[in-house]
Amino acid sequence: MNNPLLDKLVRFQHPDRVLPFARGLSDQTMASIFGTDEASYRTTLERLGSQVTRAASELAADPDVRVDLARMPFEVGAHIVALGESTTADRLSWFEILRALLERERPELQLRFDNLAVTGSTTTQALASVPAIRRQSADWILCLLGTNDSQRLGAPGALLVSRPESLRNLDEVRAQASGEKKAHWIWITPTPVDEARVAQFPFFRGGGISWANADIAALSRSLSELGGTVVDSAAAVAAAGVDAFEDDGIHVGIATHSALASRVLHSLALGATG
């Protein structure tokens, strides 16, 4: 029987990323952190992984996706790193689907993937993690940040991170994250929200926090000022339709993730150089 709370915790939380000195935690330890047994933890991982595999298989059957897959710009052995918040940390995320798709369809490229996204992260926290990002020595960096910056405290309330500060942080993350190697860089705009669901979600309402699409859209438009390729996540949300969001109105469902993975793949196929 599925445990919805366990599924959500395992889906979005990565203790090893929050506690980098604790990397290599055993499944037994991870299960204990999530308050479950090892078998239940592994079953949950397998269930989430199966959804990603199925989503990647469905994308691979799309003729347009197959055209894009044939035009990947990566050199053999390229290292691809994702930076972000829960939208990317999600074990069902666009990045995990993209990883599964490329590993299945382009194995000869021998690509390496690392997902460094941390649920709840702001651009300020991402900037603080630059030394760890630099150690990755990435060839490509895909960055989706800004949703948590756009959180408002109270109604209407102040932004958690002001827009000028968000842009400063993002600019510095890009300037500093890849060191002298100067990785290819792709921005992905923060996903819109379902404002009605956000307003009704008990945790957000009780905590006096909110999000507005006007704030997210304004930050998304500003990303073009930083230079490089920008992938519009709003189009992926629109493509997913009624299945775009989870019940809290912030986290997107796998239909949105699949659509976003396809859009990122297409951007890569067009020869994004960042």
pLDDT tens-place string over residues 125-166: 999 999 999 999 999 999 999 999 999 997 678 999 999 999
pLDDT surpassing 80 at residue 179 = no
The per-residue pLDDT of the chain, averaged, comes to 93
Q: According to the model, what pLDDT value does residue 182 have?
A: 83
Confidence of residue 180 (pLDDT cuts 50, 70, 90): confident
The answer to the question of residue 95 being in a domain is yes
Helix (H, G, I), strand (E, B) or coil at 252: strand
Where is pLDDT greater, at 203 or 273?
Answer: 203
Q: According to the model, what pLDDT value does residue 17 have?
A: 86
101/159 Cα distance (integer angstroms): 36
The answer to the question of residue 244 being in a domain is yes
CATH number for the domain including 31?
A: 3.40.50.1110
Confidence of residue 208 (pLDDT cuts 50, 70, 90): very high
The answer to the question of residue 253 being in a domain is yes
The answer to the question of residue 28 being in a domain is yes
Residue 154 class from Cβ within 10 Å (0-12 exposed, 13-18 middle, 19+ buried)? exposed
Tally of domains within the chain: 1
Which pTM value belongs to this model?
A: 0.94
Domain that holds residue 200: 4-269
Q: Which residues fall within 8 angstroms of residue 115, CB to CB, at 6 or more apart?
A: 81, 82, 88, 89, 93, 95, 96, 99
The answer to the question of residue 46 being in a domain is yes
Where is pLDDT greater, at 80 or 22?
Answer: 80
The answer to the question of residue 105 being in a domain is yes
pLDDT surpassing 60 at residue 273 = no
The answer to the question of residue 274 being in a domain is no
162: tokens are 């002001």
Q: According to the model, what pLDDT value does residue 16 have?
A: 84
